[in-house]
Chains A and B, each alone.
Chain A
Amino acid sequence: MKINHLTRGLMLSSCLVVGGMAAAEEVTITIESWRNDDLTIWQDKIIPAFEASHAGIKVKFTPTAPGEYNAALNSKLDAGSAGDMITCRPFDVSLALYEKGHLAAIQDLDGMKNFGPVAKSGWSTDDGSATYCMPMASVIHGFIYNKEAFKEVGVDVPKTEGEFFAALDKIKADGNYLPMAMGTNDQWEAATMGYYNIGPNYWKGEEGRLGLINGTSKLTDKPWVDAFASLAKWGDYLGDGYEAQTYPDSQNLFTLGRAAIYPAGSWEISGFNTQADFEMGAFYPPVKNAGDTCYISDHTDIAMGMNKATAHPKEVKEFLNWMGSAEFASLYANALPGFFSLSNHDVKMDDPLAQEFVSWRGQCESTIRPTYQILSRGEPNLETDMWNASVAVIKGSETPEDAAARMQKGLASWYKPQQ
């Protein structure tokens, strides 16, 4: 027995020594993410930059496929096998993680001082008392167009809705180009690139969005229905068989030069830059009358939080603080044009298309996607309903009024301020 105790003690102490030595040498922290497209950028640019200035901390970026991320992350967190840092989806998905105690409150970190309230809103509790993810980037909606096609057909960049549809008509009549590359097969495009893109001009951005949350306006109000009515006209300008056209189909149609306009999110920029061999430009969603204030969807999209169960909170906080720095902001925004920094730093970007997108922040009022905050918490899910309604409206299988009424009914069935 004695010998047994002795050996056990020896083994234990040797383990401790080895463990202690390793800890003194370096700590590895891992990042959970859905951005598997960005793997090389993290490995070649961002992580080396961090490790160069922070000796002793190694960072590993371990992404999951986007569609599986939420489900996989939840099971990993429940099982206690998730990484030290968690890439955060905006609003309720991450809020649920925070409420379950998986994400730590990090509003007191120094790096957080570089972000304004709008940037933080995507990852704060409803009362704003706690923030649990360090904001990284937003994406802006608008339209990307083929400059050569516009020159060939002879249309100018549309500023008003009238000009927009006139341009589409002219491109259609010319016949060489498909006026607009979008399909309804995957459903989310119709809402994300369609309704959320042109809609803010109708519901006046934040005013309309907050009205829904407060219960002072309804989805059956004129602005929300009018935006659907405008979207309903798109069906005529999409390609043959757009009902079965998928998201990659639309991307390819545009980058192969077969379509003139692509209703876009800024995240497309880096992909389009490598695929398309013609010059591209961008314009913001056309306003109703010349001179109206324009509104754009500048959607808080991605952030980084700390796994509450991490064994290395000190190192994780160091990394998160660095993510709030100007160095990270510039590194990230330039490595991934189209993902715009949410920080207050003045970030210089090289990509002309990305510059075009971000310049709208100065001319227009910013808002985020209307369904993301609070309104998609219940059943039926408003986000899913909006996808479905946007498709139905474009196809003409539902009138704008019916679609709006259906969404309102679904929302009012569980959301108290709308009852």
Chain B
Amino acid sequence: MSTQPHKKRTRWHIAVFLAPAVLVYTAIMILPLFGTMQNSLFNEIDKSRVFVGLQNFYKLFQDPRWSADFWNALGNNAWFFLIHMLVQNPIGIALAAILSNPRLRFAKFYRTAIFIPTILSFVIVGFAWKLILSPIWGITPSMLDAVGLKFLFAPWLGKEEYALTTIALISVWQFIGIPMMLIFAALLSIPDDVLEAAECDGITGMSAFWKIKLPLILPSIGIISVLTFVGNFNAFDLIYTIQGALAGPDFSTDILGTFMYRTFFGFQLQLGDPYMGSTIASAMFGIILVGVCIYLFAIQTRLRRYQF
């Protein structure tokens, strides 16, 4: 016994140091998550809480009205995500590539200016853009008028066909700093020897970006895609501040977050339904989980990593 005293001793300090984070995270994240999932298996029948199994999910996917709302929200959410992937991330990468050019002047100023919207509150961004685009007081109509393009103006936020895209682009404007910063950091970490070696082989300028830098930052782009995916499918704030809980016009900007909020807390005369609300929240969790798993197992494992 006394020959191996060290191996037997419990290393309490690990538990002690981990405890605060574990406790806080459990209390405010894990417990509510499981509480919500549990709630989605119950419903109120005759004023008492009754276990109903997967009936709520059945209702959400099979009831014509619930499923129409759900698929509408999911479709809108997918479009919201697609706009971010097609606009935010490529522009973010391009900005980072330009900013990492050592010959660019005022690079720090641009970097800060582009990043600032990201730290603004959703409420400020929402109201500022609502005013900018307002057909009555906004500066957009007069600015377009000044360059003779007034005919291009429409009350974008009020039209079913444009509203969601408009809000997605506002969100892109707000968050473009995140991919830019992450890619910028990734580009800085590429050692100069690699680029110099490439230069000796005659690869410079644009082809250096496509052939050397881009493959090296692919893992970062993957991370950004996952962050965008999780962020978009959890989104709620911007739509709520711009269009309210009804996500108008005619639910054309309704995404899973606003759909869940409206169901859970109720709206105007509609009474809140915590059980169906939890069901939607659980479905959102499932969607995000599946999306992240696809990335982790199907994409990330195939990415080639380079060690320097």
A: residues with CB less than 8 A from B are: 67, 70-71, 74, 91-93, 96, 99, 183-188, 239-246, 249, 253, 371-372, 376-377, 379-384, 387-388, 391-392, 395, 397, 410, 413
Q: Considering the chains assembled together, what is the distance between the CA atoms of A188 and B264 in angstroms?
A: 20
Contacts A243-B155, A381-B269, A384-B270 given; 18 further ones with Cβ under 8 A? Answer: A67-B245, A70-B265, A71-B265, A71-B272, A93-B271, A187-B249, A239-B135, A241-B134, A241-B136, A241-B158, A244-B157, A372-B269, A376-B269, A379-B270, A382-B269, A384-B268, A395-B249, A397-B160
Known contacts A71-B265, A239-B136, A384-B246, A245 near B158 by CB under 8 Å: yes
Contact between B135 and A244, CB atoms less than 8 A apart: yes
Binary A-proximity of B253-274 (CB < 8 A = 1, otherwise 0): 0000000000001111111100
Q: Considering the chains assembled together, what is the distance between the CA atoms of A242 and B155 in angstroms?
A: 8
A-B residue pairs in contact (CB < 8 Å), sample of 10: A71-B266, A91-B269, A185-B158, A186-B248, A240-B135, A244-B159, A245-B136, A379-B270, A387-B246, A397-B160
Interface size class, chain B: 20 to 34
Min CB gap A98→B, angstroms: 13
Contact between B269 and A384, CB atoms less than 8 A apart: yes
Q: Considering the chains assembled together, what is the distance between the CA atoms of A99 and B160 in angstroms?
A: 40
B154 at the interface (CB under 8 A from A): yes
Q: Considering the chains assembled together, what is the distance between the CA atoms of A241 and B140 in angstroms?
A: 12
Contact between B270 and A381, CB atoms less than 8 A apart: yes
Known contacts A239-B136, A244-B133, A244-B134, A74 near B249 by CB under 8 Å: no
Residues in A whose Cβ lies below 8 Å from that of B268:
188, 381, 383-384
Of all chain B residues, the one with the shortest Cβ separation from A386 is: B269
3 interchain residue pairs of minimum CB distance: A241-B135, A243-B158, A244-B158
Contact between B249 and A243, CB atoms less than 8 A apart: yes
Binary A-proximity of B92-126 (CB < 8 A = 1, otherwise 0): 00000000000000000000000000000000000
Q: Considering the chains assembled together, what is the distance between the CA atoms of A376 and B268 in angstroms?
A: 10
Q: Is the interface of B mostly helix, strand, loop or mixed?
A: loop
Contact between A383 and B248, CB atoms less than 8 A apart: no
Min CB gap B65→A, angstroms: 6
Of all chain A residues, the one with the shortest Cβ separation from B166 is: A244
Q: Considering the chains assembled together, what is the distance between the CA atoms of A11 and B175 in angstroms?
A: 59
Residues in B whose Cβ lies below 8 Å from that of A381:
267-270
Residues in A whose Cβ lies below 8 Å from that of B269:
91-93, 371-372, 376, 381-384
Of all chain A residues, the one with the shortest Cβ separation from B262 is: A384
Contact between B248 and A376, CB atoms less than 8 A apart: no
Q: Considering the chains assembled together, what is the distance between the CA atoms of A186 and B133 in angstroms?
A: 15
Q: Considering the chains assembled together, what is the distance between the CA atoms of A185 and B245 in angstroms?
A: 12
Q: Considering the chains assembled together, what is the distance between the CA atoms of A99 and B44 in angstroms?
A: 14
Q: Considering the chains assembled together, what is the distance between the CA atoms of A387 and B133 in angstroms?
A: 23
Contact between A383 and B270, CB atoms less than 8 A apart: yes
Of all chain A residues, the one with the shortest Cβ separation from B276 is: A379
Residues in B whose Cβ lies below 8 Å from that of A376:
269-270
Within 8 A of A (CB), among B123-141: 130, 133-137
Contact between B65 and A379, CB atoms less than 8 A apart: yes
Within 8 A of A (CB), among B194-248: 243-246, 248
Q: Considering the chains assembled together, what is the distance between the CA atoms of A242 and B65 in angstroms?
A: 29
B250 at the interface (CB under 8 A from A): yes
Known contacts A380-B65, A381-B269, A384-B269, A244 near B156 by CB under 8 Å: yes
Of all chain B residues, the one with the shortest Cβ separation from A240 is: B135
Contact between A184 and B271, CB atoms less than 8 A apart: no
Residues in B whose Cβ lies below 8 Å from that of A240:
135-136, 155
Known contacts A71-B265, A244-B158, A96 near B271 by CB under 8 Å: yes
Of all chain B residues, the one with the shortest Cβ separation from A410 is: B65
Of all chain B residues, the one with the shortest Cβ separation from A258 is: B136
Q: Considering the chains assembled together, what is the distance between the CA atoms of A99 and B249 in angstroms?
A: 35
Most buried by B among A67, A70, A241, A392: A241
